[in-house]
Amino acid sequence: MYDDQPDVSSLVRTFNETVEKLLDVHALWSKVTCRVRRKTDLWYDNDCRAAKRRVRKLERRYKRWKSDYARSVWLQSLRDLHKLVDRKRSDYWRSKIESETNARELWRAVDATLCPDRPADVNPTRTANDLADFFESKVASIRTATDGALPPTFTDLQSQSSLLVFTPLCQDDVVKLMRSAPAKQSSLDPSPTWLLTDCIDLLSPYLTHLFNASLSSGCVPDLFTVAYITPLLKKPGTDVDAVENYRPVSNLSVLSKTLERAVTQQLESYFGTYGLLP
């Protein structure tokens, strides 16, 4: 029984190993060849498809008859199709930009509208060890530069209550956290996020015990502190072989981020209730 596990790190290891064993039995790895199809533009609707079918029909008629009239009708339908597509495209992006209220989504829409040139695929000569050494040396240099800095100062605030322990989670809390989580995952996850969300009703008792064990003991499981690091270029078009042009992006496991969100919710609730936020 999982109640007999000695610590939270053992609970996480048991969960990952069990999920991996189940997937090895019921969902074996297999090679699948997929045909990459061109994604249809969002503004390309049934009106555009009908107009394109008409253009093709008139083109075939012109090639069969070879008459000036058939050619003029075909070219006019082709010009009408281009005008229709341009109008549909303009109306779609205009309505999308005007309806966006979130700044991040607005800039994504603008970026997609402008269609900037994407950098071509390149093969940098730097290895993972080169990048890891650079990131470690950068952190070490920052620590050395700030080693003699004055210690930070804090201002004590009086509160009517103290947050001594975290409130235990129930299964409904864990289910809600998992279903509201973004559909992202890490290479460290034993299963895809969508599968974990679909099976959360079955897994919630174990995950609830795992999260509560971490909250009550004040310990974060070892595997929750491990991240999958991806180096990304700071600016497109810069030298891909210069390690200083990269920034590290850490990708934690889904369960690690879920525990973080549970702690964040309780801290924000406490700080907000007693006016401790700046």
Quick check: 210 and 14 in contact, CB under 8 A?
A: no
Q: What number is the average pLDDT over the span 58-70?
A: 91
Residue 211's pLDDT band, with cuts at 50, 70 and 90, is very high
Residue 113's pLDDT band, with cuts at 50, 70 and 90, is low
Q: Report whether pLDDT(96) > 90.
A: no
Q: Report whether pLDDT(71) > 80.
A: yes
Quick check: 252 and 224 in contact, CB under 8 A?
A: yes
Residue 117's pLDDT band, with cuts at 50, 70 and 90, is low
Quick check: 70 and 62 in contact, CB under 8 A?
A: yes
pLDDT of residue 1: 53
In sign, the C-alpha dihedral spanning 61, 63, 67, 72 is: positive
Quick check: 198 and 164 in contact, CB under 8 A?
A: no
- Give dist(CA 140, CA 134) in Å, integer: 10
**pLDDT tens, residue by residue, 247-257:** 999 999 999 99
Whole-model pTM: value is 0.68
Structure tokens at 196: 């974990």
For 54-92, b where at least 16 C-beta lie within 10 A, e where not — what string? ebeebbeebeeeeeeebbeebeebbeebeebbeebbeeb
- Give dist(CA 246, CA 134) in Å, integer: 10
**Other beta carbons within 10 Å of 12:** 23
Quick check: 228 and 248 in contact, CB under 8 A?
A: no
What percentage of residues in the chain have a pLDDT greater than 70?
Answer: 92
What's the distance, CA 101 to chain centroid? 20
**pLDDT tens, residue by residue, 168-181:** 999 999 999 999 98
Closest by Cα among 148, 122, 213, 228 to 174 = 213
Structure tokens at 273: 């209730």
**CA dihedral of 160, 166, 171, 173, whole degrees rounded to 10:** 60
**pLDDT tens, residue by residue, 120-133:** 556 778 888 998 99
Residue 156's pLDDT band, with cuts at 50, 70 and 90, is confident
**pLDDT tens, residue by residue, 97-112:** 888 788 887 887 777 7
- Give dist(CA 186, CA 253) in Å, integer: 5
pLDDT of residue 118: 57
Q: What number is the average pLDDT over the span 155-178?
A: 89
**pLDDT tens, residue by residue, 233-245:** 888 778 888 899 9
pLDDT of residue 77: 94
